[in-house]
Amino acid sequence: MMWAILIVLGVIAIPLTIEWTRKGITDADRAKASGQFALLSQGTTHFEWLGPDRGPVAVCIHGLTTPSFVWYGMAKGLALLGFRVLIYDLYGRGYSDRVQGSQTADFFDQQLVDLLAHESVTEPVTLLGYSMGGAIAAHFAARRPQSVTQLILLAPAGMFKLESGKLMFARDLRLIGDWVFLATYPWILRRGISKEAGAPSSVDDICDLQHAETARRGFFPAVLSSLRGLLRDTCEDQHKAIAAAGVPVLAVWGAQDDVILLTCQDTLTAWNPAAQQAVIPEAAHGLPHTHTDAVLDAIRASRG
């Protein structure tokens, strides 16, 4: 009987032990990184300026699991449009700190506010949000419409509530949910990354970079915290406030996206009838790096 109990406890401990033994971000890692680091109110944030030294500012916010390198291809195109491009790693991703606390809308909003203040960005910006970054951008724009010249959303999260599946189970049940998430989601994510290996991308070696991210301590707990925080609710109120404030909005969707479904464009239309929308027929959820030129074409068209 005792052996059976020990075996069960050992099985339970496996995902927790794996997470604990993953390598954390070190000073040596950061020394090899491009870009810069800022000590902000919640922790250290990794960021990069790309493009010309002068020009209007475009701030790019990445999604749930792929850090700021997802923007490298897009940033080149935005720079050709004249933008100074600011990209950064959300807490728990890339080279930014693994910060304690619930990753709510307020949590991510504070990071962006702190970074803009650190970099003395006081003029209105073009704000781009991809996937979960779209939800962060929507909250920022709804709170500060005067600070956003255009809101560009790429397959944005916050369009529907997660109502079923393993992720909802892990989100809603503490302790047991933590174990289920750490035991299953790393495999799910790595399998999804591997399926994209060899696909065209504007970011060199993106699958290798994504796989490396999954080996870092604190990454998966940050993803779970975001599911329990920011991504628990929709951004309906925020999009309606953006519409009322008259902030220009462009949303770009992938017709083959199985994460943020194309039906979400109808939801956005209901919340903000003035929003411009574009659909890329061949694109799935990775459209910022898999269909970079098509996304940039949509941005150019929206700007007249």
| DSSP annotation string for 212-269 | HHTTBTTHHHHHHHHHHTGGGS--HHHHHHHHHHT--EEEEEETT-SSS-TTHHHHHH
pLDDT on residue 179: 87
Burial of 122 (0-12, 13-18, 19+ CB in 10 A): exposed
- Between β-strands 125-130 and 84-88, what pairing exists: parallel, antiparallel or unpaired? unpaired
In contact, 157 and 132? CB cutoff 8 Å: yes
In whole angstroms, give the CA distance from residue 234 to residue 157: 8
In whole angstroms, give the CA distance from residue 62 to residue 128: 9
DSSP, collapsed to helix, strand or coil, labels residue 61 as: strand
Cβ-proximal residues to 47 (8 Å cutoff; 6+ apart), any chain = 35, 36, 37, 38, 68, 86, 87, 88, 89, 115, 119
pLDDT on residue 82: 97
Q: Which residues pair with 126 in a beta bridge?
A: 58, 150
Distance of alpha carbon 62 from its chain centroid, rounded? 3
Cα angle value 107/61/64 (rounded, 5°) = 70
- Between β-strands 44-50 and 36-39, what pairing exists: parallel, antiparallel or unpaired? antiparallel
Domain borders along the chain are 46-302
Sign of the Cα torsion 125, 112, 207, 29 reads positive
Chunked in runs of 10, what are the mean pLDDT values of the chain (304 residues)?
A: 48 62 89 96 98 97 98 98 98 96 97 99 98 99 99 98 72 83 91 88 96 95 96 98 99 97 98 98 97 98 90
Strand extents, DSSP E, 65-159: 84-88, 125-130, 148-154
pLDDT on residue 135: 99
Phi, psi of 195 (to 5 degrees): -65, -25
H/E segment holding residue 276: strand 276-280
pLDDT on residue 5: 47
Torsion-angle region of 51 (φ positive above 0: left; ψ -120 to 50: alpha; else: beta): left
pLDDT on residue 110: 99
In contact, 99 and 42? CB cutoff 8 Å: yes
Half-sphere exposure of 76 (CA within 13 A, CB side): 10
pLDDT on residue 199: 84
In whole angstroms, give the CA distance from residue 145 to residue 112: 15
Cβ-proximal residues to 33 (8 Å cutoff; 6+ apart), any chain = 46, 95
In whole angstroms, give the CA distance from residue 199 to residue 196: 6
* Whole-structure pTM value: 0.95
In CATH terms, is domain 46-302 a member of 3.40.50.1820? yes
In contact, 67 and 288? CB cutoff 8 Å: no
pLDDT on residue 9: 42
pLDDT on residue 6: 43
